[in-house]
Amino acid sequence: MKNKDYVSQNKNKKQPRRTTKTKEKKPFPVLKLAIIVLAASGFGYFLSQLSDQPTIDTVDQKQPIEKKSKQSVPPPPDDEEWQFIEELENKQVKVSTEELEAKGPFIVRCTTVRSRDRAEALKAKIAFAGFESEVKEYQGTSGIWYRVDLGPYEKKRTAEKTRHELKRNNIHGCVFR
């Protein structure tokens, strides 16, 4: 197929001209203008009628103010004896200072998989995050499984910190036991 050169093409060919319609002048909207003027004058008349009306005073008569008599004041309270004040003064509270047992050591378990290769790949990813882990093999009811564990940690706080650091490095699903 031959390439067509549009640049050197004859520009004198007549192209059909678009016919332009002459714009028809629309008549002036007299009806709309009359409605607007009528509404504005009606609103002005309404406002002028409002200012002509006198304001209504609601207080025409003075009502007598009643004076409070001394009889309406309640009598002073009787001297009551409160028992709980004496009981609280003599109350002894026993406080025990037991230390919580450490449930440690804590282990952070990241995964349990069937393939040793997948477990080793996760171990390498954990090593790049800066933690040391180990792959443990165990026999389950449905075959051999491989666990990737970190730890043991003496404190739960240290195990939590490790788990959060792994999560920041896109190693999700780690739990501590």
pLDDT of residue 108: 93
How confident is the model over 90-114, as pLDDT tens digits? Answer: 788 888 877 766 677 899 999 999 9
The Cα–Cα gap between 172 and 125 comes to 12
The Cα–Cα gap between 109 and 163 comes to 9
How confident is the model over 23-65, as pLDDT tens digits? Answer: 778 888 999 999 999 999 999 999 888 865 566 655 556 666 6
Q: What pTM does this model have?
A: 0.43
Q: How many CB atoms lie within 10 A of CB 161?
A: 13
Q: Write down how long the chain is.
A: 177
Q: How many CB atoms lie within 10 A of CB 129?
A: 16
**Is the model's pLDDT at 116 over the cut of 70?**
yes
